[in-house]
């Protein structure tokens, strides 16, 4: 599975959950790895790239969550 494809899936999942549910990193890893049939480490690496590039951010409200940064 191409890393760019994994990143798109992660972003789409986070985008879909905006305003409904805050996703933890582990939720994303579990969902995407099950959906695409890849290891959680591969998902974790793609998620790290998205956070490092500023496409997604970590927020903290009694726990760490992954969100799309505010405009």
What average pLDDT does this structure show over 30-52? Answer: 96
Percentage with pLDDT > 70 across the chain: 100
For the cut 90, the answer to whether the pLDDT of residue 1 exceeds it is no
Q: What is the CATH number of the domain that holds 48?
A: 1.10.10.10
pLDDT computed for residue 59 by the predictor: 95
User: Which structural domain range is residue 49 located in?
Assistant: 3-67
For the cut 90, the answer to whether the pLDDT of residue 66 exceeds it is yes
Structurally, the chain folds into a number of domains equal to: 1
Helices (H) and strands (E) counted in the chain, each on its own, are 3, 2
What average pLDDT does this structure show over 31-47? Answer: 96
Tens-digit pLDDT profile for residues 13-26:
999 999 999 999 99
10 Å CB burial of residue 67 (0-12, 13-18, 19+) is middle
């Amino acid at each position: 599975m191409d890393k760019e494809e994994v990143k798109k899936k992660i972003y789409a999942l986070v985008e879909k959950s905006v305003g409904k549910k805050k996703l933890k990193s582990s939720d994303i890893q579990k969902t995407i790895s099950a959906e695409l049939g890849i290891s959680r480490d591969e998902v974790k690496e793609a998620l790290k790239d998205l956070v490092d590039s500023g496409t997604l951010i970590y927020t903290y409200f009694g726990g760490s969550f992954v969100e799309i940064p505010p405009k």
